[in-house]
Amino acid sequence: GENVEQHPSTLSVQEGDSAVIKCTYSDSASNYFPWYKQELGKRPQLIIDIRSNVGEKKDQRIAVTLNKTAKHFSLHITETQPEDSAVYFCAAGFQKLVFGTGTRLLVSP
């Protein structure tokens, strides 16, 4: 089955800096790669996703890149703000998803 690894587990940045979170997956059949943001005690919220026929996708300050050959994908957040502080999860699959272990992002003012 699919296995998703996520790094780093924690990430501290200063406001305005960029943050990068990386994930690797094992199953070449996976073709959908979403990223979720989860605040404490709340539901995961989809922030961006990418499908296997696309190498990069951007939405304002957030971008995701996908390297199918190497089986890894990354989340890039530019101009970070304190409200970006949360836990971020990557996932891989199709309809059924396997989630990474999460990255706790802390943006200090």
**Smallest distance from the beta carbon of 97 to another protein, in angstroms?**
7
Phi and psi at residue 82, in whole multiples of 5°? -55, -35
14 binds another protein (CB under 8 A): no
Pick the binder of another protein from 20, 62, 98, 106 (CB under 8 A).
98
DSSP-assigned states of every residue in 40-95: TTS--EEEEEEETT-SEEEETTEEEEEETTTTEEEEEE-S--GGG-EEEEEEEESS
Beta carbon nearer to another protein, 19 or 87? 87
Beta carbon nearer to another protein, 62 or 99? 99
Helix (H) or strand (E) holding 21: strand 19-25
Spatial CA neighbour of 18 closest among 105, 88, 60, 80: 80
CB 80 within 8 A of CB 17: yes
89 binds another protein (CB under 8 A): yes
Pick the binder of another protein from 46, 56, 58, 67 (CB under 8 A).
46
Q: Which stretch binds another protein (CB under 8 A): 20-28, 53-61, 70-78, 100-108?
A: 100-108
Length of the chain: 109
42 binds another protein (CB under 8 A): yes
Q: Which residues bind another protein (CB under 8 A)?
A: 32, 34, 36, 41-46, 49, 51, 89, 94-102
